[in-house]
Amino acid sequence: MSQNSAPTDMELAALLSSKICHDVIGPVGAIHNGLEILDEDDDPETKSYAMNVIRDVTQQASSKLQFARFAFGAAGSAGSLIDLSTAEQISRGYVGQKKHKLVWNGPAGHMTKDKVKLLLNLIAGALTALPRGGEVQVTLQGDL
């Protein structure tokens, strides 16, 4: 990709694929490490700790994949409507409860798939812009 041109479709697809892999590799690696601990250590307390880690990171991986499916994938048909409570739930799962806080303000209702995809991409961009953590505020108003 040259510095003065927009990425090609293939370059954009590669960047999105890299982003998804980056988001999922951490939790998958932690699951692998937890399973190794279960195989190697017979201490009940250690096994309980390993299972808790596996449960936590499995939820993280699932949330990140669900977010990617909606933000970058072909969820629903063209022009379909997505419930805003679903968009909020997916966003909260993706943001997690560690470094970042998501504040969601807006009415209940539905938005077109394309608008939801844009919103989710804006949330992903906001998290990237706040590498040390912070608050991401989503305010929905007007004609959704």
Read off the pTM: 0.78
Rounded to the nearest angstrom, the gap between the alpha carbon of residue 24 and the centroid of all alpha carbons in its chain is 9
How confident is residue 75, by pLDDT bands cut at 50, 70 and 90?
low
- Specify the range with the lowest mean pLDDT, choosing from 7-11, 26-30, 56-60, 78-82: 78-82
The per-residue pLDDT for 8 is 85
Residue with tokens 């706040």: 130
Q: Tell me the backbone φ, ψ of residue 100, rounded to 5 degrees.
A: -110, 155
State whether residue 81 is helix, strand or coil. Answer: strand
CB 15 within 8 A of CB 27: no
For the segment(s) 7-73, the CATH number from 2.60.40.10, 1.10.287.130, 3.10.580.10, 1.10.3720.10 is: 1.10.287.130
Helices (H), the chain: 9-40, 44-72, 84-95, 113-129
Residue with tokens 């912070």: 134
For the segment(s) 77-144, the CATH number from 1.10.10.1100, 3.60.20.10, 3.30.565.10, 2.40.110.10 is: 3.30.565.10
- Specify the range with the lowest mean pLDDT, choosing from 14-28, 41-55, 102-116: 14-28
Q: What does the mean pLDDT of the chain come to?
A: 88
